[in-house]
Each structure stands twice: as structure tokens, then as C-alpha cells.
Amino acid sequence: MKPCFHRFDAQIDGYAGCDNYTKLMHNGIVPIQICEMCPYAEAEPSPTQKNALLINKKHRGKINEPCSGCLGPKRRTTKGSHDLQFVWPYWHGGANGDEIRFSVRSVEKFFEGSAKCTVIGDKPPWFTGHYIPQQRVPKRTSARAYRDMLTKVWTMATHPEIDDDFIWMMDDIYFLKLFALEDLQTPRAERWHSSDYNTWQRLKGATMDALTAAGHPNHDYATHMPHHAEKEKLVELFDTYDLHNKTMLWEILYGNAYRDTPTRARPFFARVGKPMDTEQLQVVTRRSTVLNHSAGGWCDGMRNYLLALMPDRASVENDQEANPVIKPAKARVVKRRPVETHRGYVKVEQ
């Protein structure tokens, strides 16, 4: 068994970190350390270790660090084949290029099971798979993008053509290695830091306030990762938090209400926020199974990297040529008042 490098807040058998066990356990001085996040351990933790794990789980906001055994592409011996539905809410007008093409290809290529790909909203012109049409919410809707997402999530929760449990996707999420259902059921989140910088951060704050009032922790599940969800729990979530009338981030609500203590998203997940070439992307994603990028990260280098990884068409693609058009990220528009309306200018003129 490989040594575990999981870090603990509480001391175990007199040693604060299990990296100390690396040398000591070979000499028979202390028992083998077991990481609670590692499914490959063969021994049982001692009573002292179990107590420490329980303390960590009860600690509000605690996020577990993955051990060395959790980082590689090892497969669980208990894993079986699954039929699983992957669902993309999609607005064609908001796409920078053909990101969703590679997102679908990555699911078909790397999922260890039978994948059903479903698109809700707009349909890409090349897509021939399962499709549920849905119009975008009206233009004058407050927080339009987030309200539109919530309406599509409600469709996922109630539509008869969506399975009882499914994987929520985005068009810029890509799988890079073989993965199984268990990998997506593992809770992964980041620590939340309060901010009023933009609408996204303010909605996070409102969502965390609602969770705190309900007695739930405040893990940040809005990580741009795929999410495993159950329809019954989604319906309950909409009723509990009145999501038909209140705008909050459903993935944060769902994760904190229904999932166990999470591990960190990285290195299982990699997010790219700026243009990179193929060589840089290979370095950034060398230990990752899932990749996501911001609008600024979609570039020729990203597309070439994905095309080299997934050159073959998916079963739901027609023979229409891929659209290589890449829209540059729009700069933020800052509205400024005319100079003659500035108080200082007016005072001087007077």
C-alpha cells in the first residue's frame, strides 16, 4: 500500500501529519495511516484514527485534502458499468465557438459505461442526439442568465425524458481521462470567500445566507464542474428555497444540502482562464480528469488541444464540418458620464 499524505487538524497517536507515517510505519513504530478520501486502502483505521475523522467531518466548512492514492487514474475494483444521462443546458447565441462539440465527444470517449447525451434549450446545428427545446427567459428578466439556468434545471427535475438521476454539464466542460459514475458522485468543492465584486459573487452570498439559515455548511460547489443530481431532490430544493421566485445558485444549494463533506476540486479538476498553447495545456492538465475554461481561455490553442485528444466525431454528430470560429471575449463596457456633468468641472467653470 502506498503511504497516505492526508493532513489532519487533530494529532493521531502523537503525530500531527500522516506524512510522518511514511518513514515510521516501515519500522513498525505506528499503525498504517488510512485516508478517509482514499478508496484504495486495504487496512482498517484504528479507533483513534476513526475519532479524528469524525471530528473533521463535524467541523463546519472543513474540506478534506485528497491523499496521494486519490490523485491518479486508478479504477475502483467495485465499479461496474452504468447507463447514465448527461444533460447540457445550452444557448447557442452565447457560445464562443463549438465547445459543446468537444464536451459531448469527451463524454462518449471517456465515460466507462453507456452515455446518453441530452441538450436542453437551443440545438447545435450538427447535433443529432436527444434534444428538449426550450426558449430562453425574456430579455428584461432580472439576472437573466441565472434565471434561465434555473428554468432549465427545473425542466431537468420534472421532464419525463430525463432520468431519475443524471449529470448536469456545461458546454465548456471536458473530460480528459477515463472516469466512472463514482468519480462524479464524489463531492468536490472549494472554500467560499465572501465578495460583492459582481452579480455572480452577490448571488453566492445570498445562497450561502439561505444555507446558513437552514443550518447547512457553506462549501462553494460553483466550481464549473459537472454535477450528479437526483430529480426528486431537485424538486425538493425548488420548494424549500422558493427557486421559482428567488434567484440563487442551485449547485451550491444542492451540494451543501445533500452531499457529504467534500474534497478539494483540484487536481481532479483544472480551470483555465487565459489563452494557452497545446504544450502549456498538457502541463496544466497532467493530473486532471476534468477541464473547464473561461471565455478568455477559449482560443486556437485550446481547440487544437481538444481536437488532438478527441479527433473522432461523436455518435450524435452529423457530417457537418466543425465550426472553428472563435469569438474573442468581450471587454467589460464601462459607462462614464460626460465631463461637463462632473461636479469638480462644473465648480471650476462657475
pLDDT at 4 over 60: no
Task: Give the pLDDT confidence of 215-236 residue by residue, as tens digits.
Answer: 999 999 999 999 999 999 999 9
Task: Give the pLDDT confidence of 197-211 residue by residue, as tens digits.
Answer: 899 999 999 999 999
How far is residue 250's CA from residue 89's CA, in Å, rounded to a whole number? 14
List C-alpha distances in Å: 121 to 43, 282, 310.
49, 32, 25
pLDDT at 31 over 50: no
User: 105 lies in a domain?
Assistant: yes
Q: What is the CATH number of the domain that holds 192?
A: 3.90.550
User: 180 lies in a domain?
Assistant: yes
> Which residue's entry shows cell 427545446?
133
The DSSP-derived string for 24-78 is HGGGTSSPPP--TT-TT--SPPPHHHHHHHHHHHHSTT--BPP-GGGTS-PPPTT
CA 294 to chain centre: 13
User: 218 lies in a domain?
Assistant: yes
Q: Which residues of 263-300 are buried (b: 16+ CB within 10 A; e: fewer)?
A: bbbeebbbbbeebbebeebeebbeebbbbbbeeebbbe
User: 205 lies in a domain?
Assistant: yes
303 touches 326 (CB < 8 A): yes
- Residue 215's Cβ-count burial label (10 Å; 0-12, 13-18, 19+) is exposed
- Judged by DSSP in three states, 171 sits in coil
How far is residue 163's CA from residue 272's CA, in Å, rounded to a whole number? 31
- Same structural domain for residues 231 and 296? yes
Structural domain of residue 62, as residue ranges?
A: 7-70
The DSSP-derived string for 238-252 is HHHHTTTTS---HHH
Task: Give the pLDDT confidence of 55-66 residue by residue, as tens digits.
Answer: 444 444 555 555
- Cis ω for the linkage preceding 73 (within 30 of 0): no
> Which residue's entry shows cell 478527441?
310
Given this model, what pLDDT does residue 96 score? 85
pTM across the whole model: 0.73
User: 287 lies in a domain?
Assistant: yes
pLDDT at 41 over 50: no
- Same structural domain for residues 142 and 63? no
Q: How many domains does the chain have?
A: 2
Q: Which of 176, 179, 174 is nearest to 74 (CA)?
A: 179
Given this model, what pLDDT does residue 341 score? 58
159 touches 235 (CB < 8 A): no
- Judged by DSSP in three states, 89 sits in strand
- Same structural domain for residues 41 and 137? no
Task: Give the pLDDT confidence of 311-338 residue by residue, as tens digits.
Answer: 999 999 987 765 555 554 454 454 555 5
How far is residue 243's CA from residue 68's CA, in Å, rounded to a whole number? 39
Query: Tell me, what DSSP letter sits at residue 178?
Result: -
Three-class SS of 267-283: CCEEEECCCCCHHHHHH
Name the E strands within the chain.
7-12, 15-17, 82-90, 113-121, 130-133, 165-168, 173-175, 188-191, 219-220, 227-230, 263-264, 269-272, 290-293
- Same structural domain for residues 90 and 211? yes
How far is residue 104's CA from residue 129's CA, in Å, rounded to a whole number? 10
User: 341 lies in a domain?
Assistant: no
User: 46 lies in a domain?
Assistant: yes
